[in-house]
Structure 1
Amino acid sequence: MIYRRPSAKQLPALETPTSGLTTAQVEAQRNALGFNDIVPQASSSWWSIARDTVRDPMLWFLAFTAGLFGLLGQFTEALTMLLAMLPLLGMDAYLHLRTTASSAGLASRLASSARALRDGRWQLIPAQQLVPGDLVEVVSGEYFPADGLLVKGTGLQVDESTLTGESLPVSKHIVDAPEALAAATEENWGAAGTRLLTGTAWLRIIWTGGDTRYGEIVRTVAEGSHESTPLQKAIAQLVAILLAVALVGCVVLAAIRLWQGHGWIDALLSAVTLAIAAIPEEFPVVYTFFLGVGVFRLAKKNALVRRAVAVENIGRVTCILSDKTGTITEGALVLSHYMPAPGLDNHGLLQVATFAARQDSGDPLDQALFKAFGTTSASGRVAEFPFTEARRRETAIWSKDAAGLAAYTKGAPETILAICELPELERSHWLDAVNQHAQSGRKVIGFAWKTMPAGATLTLEPEQGFQFAGLLAFEDPVREGVREAVADCMVAGMHVIMVTGDHPATATAIARSIGLGGGSPQVITLTSEDDPASVIASCRAIDVVARATPTQKLALVQAFQAQGELVAVTGDGVNDVPALRQADIGLAMGERGTRSAREVAPVVLLDDNFRTIVDAVAEGRQLFQNLRLAFVYLLLVHLPLVIGAAAIPLMGLPLLFLPLHIVWLELVIHPTAMMAFQDLPSSGPLAPVQHQRATRFFSTEVWWWIVLVGGLASVAIVWSYLYALGTEKTVEHARAMAIAVLLVSSAGITSGLTRLRRAAARWLVLGTLLSLVLGIQLPGLSHLLNLQPLHASDWMLVTLAFFASMLLSMVVSSRLKHQLTG
């Protein structure tokens, strides 16, 4: 982590390095610098929710459309629009409340109170009241209440994983005085949101509130925003164009009918019919419906979608920035390799190790030892010498009854080897083993023991004469299935990059083990002066970014987005929150993830399995393709419907569609658009996608095919009306012929786009054809609908229209698939 240096004026004058503040000094600091409000309170009032909700343009469109239908007397359609608003209203309210929950999640890793030295005595005060210059005491297991310098304490180890991603404990040492601030390094700092694992620390507060590292993360989250997704923009543009054309067409048609001398009633009926046929209310309804389907389908893949529009983006991901700790790896130390000295077996080495460890220390390394060996009684432990940076080892002395005493020590291998009686060649052998394991990203610890006489002093730590017991290597293991998932991502054209706060050697070893960079990953280490955008521009084939800070991780996301990538970010800690918020898709770990990461991310992986990302991307791609197919169907069916409703009246002929016919057609179109396409399976393995952010909903080629097929269907409908009118000389027969062609075209388009691969599509096609036969061929029903039964020759033409529409729509489907993966 990088700490900014405050000016000397920010800290009040102190008598000694361990002096506390006076009440007057506290008041002066608070007046100048404010309270220690690291996470500001978010408003959750209903007024705030309503204010944010009314900003959603899709809700205004649905309300306007419902009002228009109401004015036209189509109350069923108006009610449909109002009901479609409910899930959107609920989603907006939920997102607002989730922001409040996110703030609570961020606050859960902060100390709520602190022991501060004020006016010469220790006082327990709310952490919010701390000011720069305060001296606080933090004991093992507690979180630091603000950022500051460590001025007193021994054997200090800190869990900084939520800020840096570093899974191993970080050793800290003290500075003598605040005057040493200019020379302080990160080993001298304690940060808000990190937890003290061992020892008792005195912390001189330097930064509070939004100036802390944790506060910077919170501020980044609060200031971040998500613009409308490309699909939302495309739908809004499509709906706006179609709505404008529909309204203009209604006015023009009414004026022409009046000019033709058909009267006000005919003109109004023509305009109303065209309006009902042309107003594109299905598009936002189908979009909302498909988002709900996507949420359900991804949940079955162990991906919980918390922001429904993420269903769109997840299938278009081209770049994954993955946290290492807890995402690619298990996020816990595991004893992985035993290297006992001659004369000892694995059990004997582990027994020496547990005698040197402390069962209640909170040190993950000690916990891993006892997990491997089991619990032991500490009744024979008579003295201990905790770990310090200067000694780089810790020692425990045990009573062996009549056998006297025994000292057991553990620590850095070179330190342990130095106090053991070993030949130089053997010492070199052990050091070579340490280096080999270190290059593989493992943490290696040395162990030794020494027998002592019963009367030996217990106040001095033994320094020499130890017997070397061996080495134990610990690692944060890679999660099962990650290597295969990474390979699938690379085959699909997705760029996988591991971003971690770990040491480059550790990151390189993990990256190599999961196959990044083809087993030869390119690793970079960012410094505080590096601009991530410049680094990426100069080195596109990056596989690992080590020593990354939260700010740099966020900048990496922005840099890749600027290059046109759709970026997914995985993570589980507070350090991942800004990047999760900025990314096109934030994927939080559900089992190990912090509450703040889960609340901010639009998608939560319930099983913490990197493999789930690949499954979710494949599911998202297929769902996005299915939504496009549904929209193709709507366009191909609505185009001839609108043209038929407008062209025939413009010719001065009797109306083709009456309001009752429009209702019949909508009863076919609505369920087909929502049910026939949403459950289509994937047609093959995960394939590469186009690397572009601002993708159009349909390519120019697909648009031409839609216009061509829709235009041919329109010509067929108008021609069939004119043909039947000229043959039978009755409007009822002509209407029946045109409606039959439109309905079989709808069934043919559905068959071609879905390939009838699901039962829902088959039943909908069958239902469409059955309603057609019953509505036209049954004399009583056809009379009610102002139609006449068709002849055998008519049905031959209708059958031809079915197969023609099916074949042409299959071509459109194949071109649409090519747009997604080409």
Structure 2
Amino acid sequence: MRVLVPVNRLPHGWEEARGLDAEEVLARRARHGLNDVRGPSLHPTGQSLRDASRDPMLWFLVGTSVLYFALGERVEGAVMLLALVPLLGMDVFLHHRTRASTEGLRGRLAEHATVLRDGREVEVPARDVVPGDLMRVEAGGQFPADGLVVRGQGLQAEESPLTGESLPVRKRPLERLPPGAEPAVDGMHWGLAGTRLLTGTAWVRVVYTGAETLYGSIIHSAGQEVRARTPLQHAVAHLVAVLVGVAGALCAVLALVRWRQGFGWLDALLSAATLGVAALPEEFPVALTFFLGAGVYRLARRQALVRQAVSVENIGRVSCVCSDKTGTLTEGLLRVTRLLPSPGTSRQALLRTAVLASREEGRDPLDVALLEAGARELPELPGPAREATFPFTEERRRETAVVRQGPGTLLAAVKGAPERVLELCELTPDARREWALRLDALAHEGLKVIACASRTLDAAHWHGGEPERGFDFLGLVACEDPVRAGVEAAVRECRDAGLRTVMVTGDHPRTALAVARRLGLGGANPQVLTGADLEARLADTGTVPPVDVVARALPAQKYALVKALRRQGEVVAATGDGVNDVPALQAADVGIAMGERGTRSAREASSIVLLNDDFGTLVRAIAEGRQLFSNLQRCFLYLLLVHIPLVSTAALLPLWGQPLLYLPIHIVWLELIIHPTAMLAFQAAARPGRLAPVRARPAARFFSWREWALLTGVGGLLACGLVWAYARCLSEGQDVERARAVAMASLILASAAFAAVLTRLRTRTARWVCALSLGLSAPLIQVPALAALVGLHPLHARDGARVLVAVAAALVPLLLAWPWAQGGLSRGRRWRTGQPTMTLGHP
């Protein structure tokens, strides 16, 4: 990586240990702005209040309060204004919950910086750093901005948050700039915002701040993503449109009828407004937004950073996963698993030769594995001085090290491809055939195998060249990339849920097949195709053949696989970590980048970033997405079960010529119960080890006919119970305030009962919400002073019995019909249409 340096941003003598003075700082801040990498944003509370102000309920409260004050009803007007406080507080709280997943970005950014100002070191907020500042970064600290390293020794930085490079990156001071107005400087001389210094103390001359840093550009590009509407969003929008149309028609009819009945325009207006707020379906889009935000939060806790909230829904619809092997299904690190020494050679001698032919610099994965094995098994690591090194090349396919063994004696140690090393050794034909058989057996197990040999040299006669023959064969060393812990169980979970998993790798087919068998991918006989074979099949038939593993795959072939699967109706998630994976990530329904080793391009093209590169995390993310469907449908069922009797009684009784059943304050009261219950009680997390299958249903239907039958039947029964209880109270000569109290108590008890049935009170939050809704409402009904404030009279024992009868008339059928409604979903087919799917049963 090479980055351009605008020379005009650097002060004169930039390479010297001289900081800026106060006047220079002010001038540069005026020119370049604050070092705000996250970009301008409102204060979280201000943002929350702004979002809450869009709630129609708030404006209804303000409007009805003004109306009451105009009529001289000051107590009612004051109560309506006081109702704003809990409603605003609840909206602010819910808004903060939906923002929780973005807090992870703050941990990667420095909050303070140590800079040289006016000849002395001072600590300033990171946002006050300006281009030209000379800042000091200690080991373990984070770079507050992008700048050139001008001083420091033994510097290493962790740059995985930006580049995906999992290994430490060495940093070196820049001695002088290349010529030109904007010379390009190599990445080894840069300290980058959002990365961490691991070793040493670095002095950095700041060049870029704020949105101009590499980290800032990533955040900016993420914010520019186009957010397409998902099938679930379309379905919710359609449902809301229908409900708004019905509510509008009912309000108009009610206002006209009340006016014609002689109640006056004020009563007609209040009746229509009360009904309108009761029927207003604002909870549905709010619930969708909140549930998506809660899903983002849960995925962040599971090491999956969601860049777009709608991705939580998309990943729940996934029916096929195209996964990389290295680093996702496996650890991405080689481990020595077998040592097969030749007759007369010890394991230690074989391993010692392999270590001698390995280098610490460069951090080649094979060398790292051999050095780690040597550190574990050898009493002391070999440390003779090297006389010469002949590194591995694709032509030679071996590496040779010549080391001093003793006075006048050298040892040539070689490791490399077995066929090449065997050519250097003097072996009988039978021995060669025996070693070839062992090599073939190890290769079929998917192991990476190297051979080792050595030869003693006379130092006086060695002229510096690499020996080409006369080596003694010492044996084979087998390495493997171990399967990640938990991946086998995750693959089995996918298979049990009907989720198709295809491993796409550049490895040899035999290696890929061995890994697939260890994982249980594809069952006992995984189907393996090479990328070339897959490409030919797609060109011939246009469809993806039954395949579990695509080996020797090229990026273009991975892209073609994803496109073909989507054409066949699959909802595809694809993982990737490099620039070459970008086409496949963009073509997939859900692109998933690797956080530990993924490149910047891969992250920008993806909608979800796995911070730990683990396939198990991906499966958990899918489980959370599918749980979202179940949670959201239960929430919508609850909302409709409560609103159907609420709206129908609010409309029918006034149309019947009876006094208003609900006053505006009663609607507000009910909304303060319904809103938090819907948002909080249905937030069940996915159960570990149980990935729910996604079922299909026609595109135009949000609920099945069984679900609509359940909703209308139970809601209608509760409405009948409310009308019966209200009418009985009035027929016995009781005042309308007590009749309203019966209706309110019935709705509040039914709300808690419905929530308890739909959630089964699985979570602590559900239990608390239901208990609080009952516990806080009882005093408002039964304490005379409080009841008078809300226009009610306390209930007698007979009234309480009526409440229980009205609720039981709806609750008992709900309990009986619940298994029937669930059974209607169990026979559904697998989802292949890409439409939103809801499951009533537990996942």
Alignment TM class, shorter chain as reference:
0.7 to 0.9
Give the structure 2 partner of residue 743 of structure 1: 748
Question: What is the distance in 1 between the residues matched to 2:725 and 2:463?
Answer: 106
What are structure 2's unaligned runs of at least 5 residues? 1-35, 43-49, 66-79, 109-145, 147-158, 170-176, 191-220, 827-837
Shift in Å, 1:598: 4.8
Query: 1:106-125, aligned counterparts within 5 Å?
Result: none
Q: CA deviation at 1:277?
A: 1.0
Q: Report how far residue 305 of structure 1 moved.
A: 3.8
Of 632, 637, 644, which residue of structure 2 is paired with 1:632? 637
* Residue 291 of structure 2: aligned partner: 290
How far is the alpha carbon of 1:70 from its aligned partner? 5.3
User: Which range moved further: 714-723 or 377-386?
Assistant: 377-386
Deviations 1:222-273 (A, max 9, x none): 9985522222222222222222332332222212222222211111111111
Q: Does structure 1 retain, via aligned residues, the 8 Å contact 2:342–2:473?
A: yes
Q: Which residue matches 2:839?
A: 820
Query: Which is worse superposed, 712-721 or 480-489?
Result: 712-721
SS in 1 for 2:535: coil
Which digits, 9 at most, give the CA deviation of each residue in 1:465-522, with x for residues without a partner? 2211111122222112211211111011111111122232222221122111113111
Query: Of 418, 421, 424, which aligns to 1:419?
Result: 424
For residues 365 and 770 of structure 1, the distance between their equivalents in structure 2, rounded to whole angstroms, comes to 66
SS of the residue 1:725 aligns to: helix
Equivalent residue, structure 2, for 1:206: none
Tell me the equivalent position of 1:202. none
Does 2:480 align with 1:461? no
Work out whether residues 493 and 689 of structure 2, in 8 Å CA contact, stay in contact via their aligned partners in 1: no
1:530 to 535, 550, 565: 535
Aligned residues: 680
- 1:479 aligns to what SS in structure 2? coil
The answer to whether structure 1 residue 507 and structure 2 residue 508 are counterparts is no
Q: Who is 2:357 aligned against?
A: 356
Q: How does 1:367-766 map to 2 (within 5 A)?
A: 367-374=368-375, 380-527=385-532, 530=535, 538-598=543-603, 600-679=605-684, 682=687, 685-690=690-695, 697-728=702-733, 730-766=735-771
Give distance in 2, aligned partners of 1:259 and 1:69.
27
Taking a change above 3 Å as real, the CA distance of residues 363 and 734 of structure 1, as seen in their structure-2 partners, is: closer
Q: Is the 8 A contact 2:543 2:568 kept in 1?
A: no
Q: Could you say what secondary structure the match of 1:383 adopts?
A: strand
Q: Write out aligned runs for 1:18-37 (5 A).
A: none
Counterpart contact for 1:622–1:681, Cα < 8 Å: yes
Q: 1:525 deviation in Å?
A: 1.9
Residue in structure 2 matched with residue 797 of structure 1 by the alignment: 802
> What is the CA-CA distance between 1:788 and the residue it aligns to?
3.7
Residue 272 of structure 2: aligned partner: 271
SS in 2 for 1:498: strand
Q: Over aligned residue pairs, what C-alpha RMSD do you find?
A: 4.5
More displaced stretch, 248-257 vs 525-534: 525-534
SS in 1 for 2:719: helix
Q: Secondary structure of the equivalent of 2:318? A: coil
The alignment partner of 1:613 has SS state of: helix
CA contact (8 A) 2:60 2:277 kept: no
Closer/same/farther in 2, CA of residues 454 and 473 from structure 1, 3 Å limit: same
Matched, 1:280 2:281: yes
**Could you tell me how far apart the structure 2 residues matched to 1:316 and 1:287 are?**
16
- 1:379–1:570 CA distance, 2 compared to 1 (3 A): same
Letter in 2 for 1:421: E
User: More displaced, 601-610 or 409-418?
Assistant: 601-610
Once the two structures are TM-superposed, the CA of residue 728 in structure 1 deviates from its matched residue by 1.9
2:361 is paired with a residue whose SS is coil
Cα distance in 1 for partners of 2:333, 2:768 equals: 52
How much has 1:344 moved relative to structure 2?
0.8
CA 1:323–1:777: 2 relative to 1, 3 Å: same
CA contact 1:319–1:568 (8 Å) conserved in 2: yes
Secondary structure (helix, strand or coil) at the match of 2:732 reads helix
User: CA–CA distance in 2 between the matches of 1:388 and 1:661?
Assistant: 81
Per-residue CA deviations over 1:694-741 (Å, capped at 9, x if unaligned) read: 695422321221122112222222232223222326433332332232
Where 2:492 maps in the other structure, the secondary structure is helix
CA contact (8 A) 2:279 2:643 kept: yes
TM-score (norm 2): 0.70
Is the CA contact 1:493–1:687 (under 8 Å) kept in the aligned structure 2?
no
CA contact under 8 A between 1:485 and 1:614: conserved in structure 2?
yes
Q: State the Cα deviation string for residues 129-186 of structure 1 (Å, max 9, x = none).
A: 99xxxxx9x99x999xxxxxxxxxxxxxxxxxxxxxxxxxxxxxxxxxxxxxxxxxxx
SS for the counterpart of 1:564 is coil
Per-residue displacement from partner, 1:275-317 (whole Å, max 9, x unpaired)? 2211122223333333343334344444444433333333333
Report what 2:324 is aligned to: 323
Show the counterpart of 2:833. Answer: none
Q: CA deviation at 1:676?
A: 2.2
SS at match of 1:569: strand
**Residues 90/759 of structure 1: CA separation in 2 closer, same or farther (3 Å cut):** closer
1:62–1:82 Cα contact (<8 Å) kept? no
CA separation of 1:405 and 1:314: change in aligned 2, threshold 3 A:
same
Q: Specify the alignment match of 1:366 in structure 2.
A: 367
Q: TM-score, normalised by structure 1?
A: 0.72
Q: Report which stretch shifted further, 741-750 or 583-592.
A: 583-592
Deviation for aligned residue 1:586: 3.8
Paired letter, 1:319: C
- Report which stretch shifted further, 279-288 or 530-539: 530-539
How far 1:93 moved relative to its partner? 10
| Structure 2: distance between partners of 1:807 and 1:536 | 55
Cα distance in 2 between the residues matched to 1:68 and 1:269: 11
Q: Is the 8 A contact 2:98 2:294 kept in 1?
A: no
Shift of 1:81: 10
Q: Is the 8 A contact 2:425 2:472 kept in 1?
A: yes
- Say which is worse superposed, 518-527 or 636-645, in terms of deviation: 518-527
Is residue 313 of structure 1 aligned with residue 345 of structure 2?
no
Q: Is 1:62–1:85's contact at 8 Å kept on the other side of the alignment? A: no
Following superposition, the deviation at residue 400 of structure 1 comes to 3.1
Moved more, 685-694 or 63-72: 63-72
Question: 1:379-404: CA deviations, max 9, x gaps?
Answer: 63223333344433333333333352
CA contact (8 A) 2:352 2:382 kept: no
What is the CA-CA distance between 1:324 and the residue it aligns to?
A: 0.6
Counterpart position of 1:247: 248
**What residue identity is the alignment partner of 1:792?**
A
- In structure 1, the gaps of 5 or more residues are 1-43, 51-57, 113-122, 131-135, 144-219
Secondary structure of the 1:228 match is: coil
Letter in 2 for 1:639: I
Alignment partner, residue 257 of structure 1: 258
Percent identity over paired residues: 47
Distance 1:797 1:604, change over 3 A: same
